[in-house]
């Protein structure tokens, strides 16, 4: 995972630190770093920010002698990446749901994102996580748009032994979400997971419909699902959804396909919302908590 970006950072560091780390060499090194970040799907503004932080850290801790320049440089990059990724408002859906359960209220989570990014699969993975932790779950079949989407959800629900609240194709997704929440309240079900249709972020009508779901269902958490392989497109999608409905966090899928990892950095920085999980495969168990420190460490090879 993320081997490409790690390799690129490593070669930038090596190139930069074979020389003495003078002011001029430092500027070159940071420039090199910025280039490899951008080449690996880190948005330009984010790459610039990371490089500024890295430079500050190096200049700030500069001693007369730099014995291990490479290690020093890597530490500065590591800290900078961590700073970009550490959210102001971290969320743990499990903790969140535990608190709401204590108050006797269901936790409602809406999944948004464009077609094929992995919303439905991710919803099913999270349903499985909640079930394993002893929560009861109901699913709202909010994608009434794409042919086969309700059946896809029902197949997951059958395997996971979870009820699906649905209506016909073409029905109002907001009404279905509302019904599912009412169902959860009446039956004391802990978690309501709301699927939604794949919306092109450029499609105004569909974004309006998304806003309607949020207005009617008032979900506790709105999670953007982005495809890590989409790189900078995933970032522009996240921006659009964030602007339209205000997301609380993101889940990045298909990270098992060894993408550069740049999208994770960009989405966290630009939306100011954390990446909560990453999808690492097609099975229910293939969902991992996203840990900024783990990610930052992975990006900095320690040879
Ligand atoms: N390799 C891999 N495939 C995934 C992952 N998440 C989803 N997929 C696949 O991506 C495709 C689209 O997923 P789906 O949930 O239908 O996307 P949706 O249109 O956003 O609901 C399916 O073939 C999934 O199996 C992941 O983390 N890794
Ligand atoms: Mg779907």
Q: Name the E strands within 213-254.
A: 221-227, 249-253
Largest CA distance in the chain: 71
**d(CA 257, ligand 1 centre) in Å:** 12
186-221 residue pLDDT tens: 999 999 999 999 866 556 677 888 999 999 999 999
Task: Note down pLDDT in tens along the chain; length 303 residues.
Answer: 677 788 878 877 877 666 666 667 778 888 888 998 888 888 899 999 999 999 888 877 655 555 567 778 888 899 999 998 888 888 999 999 999 999 999 999 999 999 999 999 999 999 999 999 999 999 999 999 999 999 999 999 999 999 999 999 999 999 999 999 999 999 999 999 999 998 665 566 778 889 999 999 999 999 999 999 998 899 999 999 999 999 999 999 999 886 777 888 899 999 999 999 999 999 999 999 998 888 888 778 664
Atom of ligand 1 nearest to the CA of 279: 27
Residue 279 Cβ inside 6 Å of ligand 1? The answer reads: yes
Residue closest via CA to ligand 1's atom 22 equals 118
The helix (H) or strand (E) run that includes residue 56 is: helix 44-60
pTM here is 0.91
Residue 256 Cβ inside 6 Å of ligand 1? The answer reads: yes
Residue 248's contacts (CB-CB under 8 Å, 6 or more residues apart) are 89, 91, 221, 222, 223, 273
Q: Which ligand is closest to the CA of 123, given by its number?
A: 1
Residue 18 Cβ inside 6 Å of ligand 1? The answer reads: no
At residue 205, the pLDDT reads: 79
At residue 17, the pLDDT reads: 67
At residue 199, the pLDDT reads: 62
- Cα separation values, 134 from 20, 137, 182, 190, 289, Å: 57, 10, 21, 10, 18
**d(CA 101, ligand 2 centre) in Å:** 27
Strand, coil or helix: what is 127?
helix
List the structure tokens of 156.
């997951």
Q: Name the E strands within the chain.
A: 107-112, 137-140, 163-165, 191-194, 221-227, 249-253, 275-279, 287-289
Q: Which ligand is closest to the CA of 121, given by its number?
A: 1
Phi-psi region of 8 (alpha: psi -120 to 50; beta: other; left: phi over 0): alpha
Would you tell me which CATH number, out of the four given (3.40.50.300, 3.40.50.150, 3.40.1010.10, 3.40.50.720), belongs to the domain 93-299? Answer: 3.40.50.300
Asked if 54 and 80 count as a contact pair (C-beta separation under 8 A), the reply is: yes
- Cα separation values, 224 from 9, 76, 221, 252, 273, Å: 28, 30, 10, 8, 10
**d(CA 33, ligand 1 centre) in Å:** 32
Atom of ligand 1 nearest to the CA of 124: 15
Q: Which residues pair with 275 in a beta bridge?
A: 250
Q: Which ligand is closest to the CA of 197, given by its number?
A: 2
Atom of ligand 1 nearest to the CA of 253: 27
Asked if 58 and 21 count as a contact pair (C-beta separation under 8 A), the reply is: yes
Residue of 112, 121, 238, 279 best suited for mutating to test ligand 1, as the one with most atoms within 8 Å of CB: 121
Asked if 278 and 120 count as a contact pair (C-beta separation under 8 A), the reply is: no
Residue 196 Cβ inside 6 Å of ligand 1? The answer reads: no
Residue 27 Cβ inside 6 Å of ligand 1? The answer reads: no
Q: Which residues pair with 279 in a beta bridge?
A: 287
Q: Which ligand is closest to the CA of 141, given by its number?
A: 2
What are the sequence ranges of the domains in the chain?
3-85, 93-299
Residue closest via CA to ligand 1's atom 26 equals 254
**d(CA 272, ligand 1 centre) in Å:** 25
Which residues are placed with Cβ below 5 angstroms of ligand 2, an ion? 119-120, 143
Domain 3-85 sits in which CATH superfamily? Answer: SRP54, nucleotide-binding domain (1.20.120.140)
**d(CA 277, ligand 1 centre) in Å:** 14
Q: Which ligand is closest to the CA of 278, given by its number?
A: 1
């Amino acid at each position: 995972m993320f081997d490409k970006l790690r390799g690129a950072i490593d070669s930038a560091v090596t190139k930069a630190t074979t020389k003495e780390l003078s002011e001029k060499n430092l500027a070159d090194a940071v420039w090199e770093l910025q280039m490899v970040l951008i080449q690996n799907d880190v948005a330009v503004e984010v790459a610039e920010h990371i490089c500024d932080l890295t430079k500050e850290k190096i200049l700030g801790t500069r001693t007369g002698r730099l014995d291990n320049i490479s290690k020093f440089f890597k530490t500065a990059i590591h800290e900078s990446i961590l700073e970009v990724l550490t959210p102001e408002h971290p969320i743990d859906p499990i903790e969140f749901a535990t608190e709401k359960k204590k108050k006797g209220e269901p936790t409602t989570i809406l999944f948004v994102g464009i077609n094929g990014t992995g919303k439905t699969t991710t919803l099913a993975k999270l349903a499985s996580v909640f079930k394993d932790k002893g929560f009861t779950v109901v699913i709202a079949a909010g994608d009434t748009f794409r042919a086969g989407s309700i059946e896809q959800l029902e197949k997951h629900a059958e395997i996971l032994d979870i009820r699906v609240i649905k209506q016909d194709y073409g029905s109002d997704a907001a009404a279905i979400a509302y019904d599912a929440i009412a169902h959860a309240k009446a039956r004391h079900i802990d978690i309501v997971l709301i699927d939604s249709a794949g919306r092109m972020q450029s499609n105004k009508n569909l974004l309006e419909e998304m806003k309607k779901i949020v207005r009617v269902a008032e979900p506790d958490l709105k999670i953007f699902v982005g495809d890590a392989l989409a790189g900078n497109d995933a970032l522009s999608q996240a921006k659009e959804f964030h602007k339209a409905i205000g997301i609380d966090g993101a889940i990045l899928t298909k990270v098992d396909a060894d993408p550069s990892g740049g999208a994770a950095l960009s989405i966290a920085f630009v939306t100011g919302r954390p990446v909560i999980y990453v999808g690492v495969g097609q099975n229910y168990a293939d969902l991992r908590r996203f840990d900024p420190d783990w990610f930052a460490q992975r990006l900095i090879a320690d040879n």
